[in-house]
């Protein structure tokens, strides 16, 4: 941690061992479309699919811009934006007299969230989310059916090259895909409903930051 912020080393230092400035633009673009993983110091060293230059990249960005604000509005009460947000929730918890000697603080991490979400399950959850939270089942001129078709397209077209072979991801979504993050958040929002209900009924704190609960 540096001044309270988690330090994440630049991805290029992991697979290039040299500065991007030393690589011409066209070479860098080629590397980005083939190298599909970036190791993380604080996690088990696994390579995860990325989404750089994927066929549906622009659609993914469009869906993220479209749906992320709706998700943030719906989930704001149970989402920690940063450390200060958590501190404010704890201060309120203490001020209300809920903190006791027997109070337990529990945290858990959903491993490989983006790459493990079930395809059919997440699409069903997305459909329910849209039906509950869209007025007249539309966003502007876009109908729910239009949004669902684009979501399926993003999930079905994550194709990448690795060691001179082509692969298509058939489970979950790609790390780095803008829409997959929002889609995973919507899936987690549905998954945690019972847990949220139980915690709130007991006047306890429940909150989530990315994949950490």
The answer on pLDDT for 173 being more than 80 is: yes
**How do residues 68-118 score in pLDDT, each as one tens digit?**
999 989 988 878 888 888 888 889 889 999 888 888 888 888 778 888 888
Q: Is this structure's pTM higher than 0.75?
A: no
**What is the bridge-based pairing of β-strands 165-168 and 142-143?**
unpaired
Query: For residue 147, how many other CB atoms are within 10 A of its CB?
Result: 20
Structure tokens, 69:
């604000």
Query: For tokens 């060293």, what's the residue?
Result: 45
Q: Are 142 and 201 in contact (CB under 8 A)?
A: no
Helix (H, G, I), strand (E, B) or coil at 98: coil
CA-wise closest residue to 14 among 56, 52, 46: 46
**How do residues 146-157 score in pLDDT, each as one tens digit?**
999 999 999 988
Long-range interactions of 91-94: CB distance < 8 A, separation 24+ = 93/205
Per-residue confidence (pLDDT) for residue 42, from 0 to 100 = 47
């Amino acid at each position: 941690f540096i001044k309270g912020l988690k330090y994440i080393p630049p991805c290029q230092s992991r697979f290039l061992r040299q500065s991007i400035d030393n690589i011409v633009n066209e070479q860098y673009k080629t590397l980005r479309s083939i190298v599909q993983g970036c190791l993380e110091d604080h996690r088990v060293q696994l390579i995860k699919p990325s989404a750089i230059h994927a066929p549906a990249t622009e659609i993914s960005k469009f869906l993220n811009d479209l749906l992320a604000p709706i998700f943030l509005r719906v989930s704001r009460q149970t989402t920690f934006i940063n450390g200060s947000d958590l501190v404010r929730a704890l201060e309120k918890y203490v001020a209300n007299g809920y903190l006791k000697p027997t109070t337990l603080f529990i945290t858990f991490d959903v491993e490989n969230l983006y790459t493990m979400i079930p395809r059919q399950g997440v699409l069903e959850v997305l459909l329910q989310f849209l039906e509950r939270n869209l007025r007249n089942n539309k966003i502007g001129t876009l109908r729910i059916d239009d949004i669902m078709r684009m979501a399926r397209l993003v999930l079905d077209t994550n194709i990448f090259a690795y060691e001179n072979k082509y692969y298509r991801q058939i489970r979950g979504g790609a790390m780095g895909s803008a829409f997959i993050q929002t889609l995973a958040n919507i899936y987690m929002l549905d998954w945690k409903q019972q847990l949220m209900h139980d915690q709130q009924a007991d006047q306890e704190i429940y909150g989530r930051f990315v994949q950490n609960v």
